[in-house]
Amino acid sequence: MASSNELGQWYNSIPPITRTWFTGSVIVPVAARLGLIRPQNLVLFLDPLVKHFQLWRLLTAVLYFPMGFNYLINLFFIYQYSTRLETSAFNGKPADYIFCLSFLWLCHVIVGLILTIPILMDGMILSVMYIWCQLNKETIMSFWFGMQFKAMYMPWVILLFNWIISGTFITQFIGIVVGHLYFFLVFKYPQDFGGARLLSTPGFLYRYFPNQATGIGGFGTAPIPRRQPGGEEENNNRPRNLFTGRGHILGNQ
């Protein structure tokens, strides 16, 4: 009973938008594994979309992934990086984060249809990771064999290791490109170049998901590192262990 309560408390502690994404990424692959639905009916193919109007594929292509070790790593990345992003740059801004994920999803669907990429979970995760890493680029991360590097390089390290292990990197590269597109339009171009915000959250989302009062930096502003009483930057100068002992590759296809 205690373990069940702890699991429930952990699940409820996940911020709501990340919790919805995480839950969908569990339910869809488990349903396929149990034989409740064929995996072929979940992935992104153009013919079923056009000829049979199987529009759910647009969403399930992001939520489905063959169950295995890489799938568990993907769940970990969703929990880790989406939680961090939702509780930092998008803290108290649910409409903005929903729009962020929607923009990333739409871009991946378009590219997936053009390049015939049926499973989009890897790229979607790497886009979210890229945005968080750019907003926290000076944070020191740890990877395999005790390697340490700044967070801004983390997506490229994932891409490199996936290429070494599986011989492919196209999905990860697309995730980085899509993540950079959003980061540039929303954060970098308005702040570093003084330009207008080229990508804005539609007003109707604010009506359904109004902003919440918080004391943490707002949307469109990179999180400002806090300092502890002793004057040291919180977390940024401490290596962040990503994988608890050994590194992992973002799910291979």
pLDDT of residue 248: 37
**Portion of the chain with pLDDT greater than 70, in percent:** 82
pLDDT of residue 214: 66
Q: Which amino acid is at 113?
A: L
Token output for 66 = 């063959």
pLDDT in tens, 60-113: 999 999 999 999 999 999 999 999 999 999 999 999 999 999 999 999 999 999
Tracing tokens 């009916």 back to the chain, one arrives at 41
Mean pLDDT of 161-175: 91
pLDDT band at 239 (very low <50, low <70, confident <90, very high): very low
Q: Between residues 106 and 193, which one has the greater pLDDT?
A: 106
pTM: 0.82
- Rounded-to-integer distance, Cα 62 and Cα 78, Å: 12
Q: pLDDT at residue 6 above 90?
A: no
Beta bridge partners of 142: 148, 241
pLDDT of residue 197: 77
pLDDT of residue 146: 74
pLDDT of residue 223: 41
- Reported in sequence order, the residue ranges of the chain that DSSP labels E, i.e. its strands, are 140-142, 148-150, 240-241
pLDDT in tens, 108-143: 999 999 999 999 999 999 999 999 999 999 998 887
Nearest to 95 by CA among 208, 217, 220: 208
Q: How many helices, marked H, and strands, marked E, lie in the chain?
A: 12, 3
- Rounded-to-integer distance, Cα 102 and Cα 33, Å: 27
pLDDT band at 32 (very low <50, low <70, confident <90, very high): very high
Q: Which amino acid is at 69?
A: F
**Portion of the chain with pLDDT greater than 90, in percent:** 68
